[in-house]
Amino acid sequence: MSDQCVFCKIINKEIQSDIRYEDDQVVVIRDINPQTPSHLLILPKVHISGMDTLTPEQSPIIAHIALVAKKLASQEGLSESGWRLVVNCGQDAKQTVFHLHVHILGGRPMTGQLA
């Protein structure tokens, strides 16, 4: 947990957010700057700076995130038309918050760009 991390503050309910799902491992929020009509962020409750710092012991969270993404994509009505999962890792990939998070994007046809 990082005292300065905005996602940690959202997870701890110190900052209000549009929480769409929560369990013992993750919190899912609507992105405040959506790139698609449906744009959710899956945040692990444990602070992991990014994919490049993920340890073998933490790796089960990735499988959990995938299953949560599948469930939420269905709830958002994206299953039939399709959806995308995106993880940005590092500055060149445009990671702006250094707390591992996964984007669920959908609700329109995707262009050649990732977001």
Domain with residue 29: its CATH number is 3.30.428.10
Question: What is the C-alpha separation between 34 and 7, in angstroms, rounded?
Answer: 16
The count of domains in the chain is 1
Average pLDDT, the chain: 93
Type of residue found at 49: S
In a domain, residue 112? The reply is: no
Q: Evaluate whether residue 30 is within a structural domain.
A: yes
| 3 has pLDDT over 80 | no
In a domain, 111, yes or no: no
Q: What is the pLDDT of residue 4?
A: 86
What three-state secondary structure class fits 61? helix
Torsion over CA of 68, 71, 77 and 79, rounded to 10 degrees? 100
Mean pLDDT, residues 1-20: 90
Evaluate whether residue 113 is within a structural domain: no
What type of residue is 53? T
The predicted structure's pLDDT at residue 113: 62
Query: Is 64 part of the annotated catalytic residue set?
Result: no
- Among residues 21, 26, 17, 7, which one has the least CA distance to residue 99? 7
Given a contact cutoff of 8 angstroms between Cβ atoms, the answer to whether 23 and 59 are in contact is: no
Is residue 50, in this structure, part of any structural domain at all? Answer: yes
Q: Is residue 69 part of a domain?
A: yes
In 3D, which of 60, 1, 66, 2 has the Cα closest to residue 28? 66
Q: Which pair of tokens denotes residue 32?
A: 């405040």
- DSSP reduced 3-state for 41: strand
Catalytic residue from among 39, 99, 101, 103: 101
Is position 57 within any domain?
Answer: yes
Of 15-24, 64-73, 84-93, which range is least confident? 84-93
How is residue 107 written in tokens? 């609700």
The domain of 72 spans 6-106
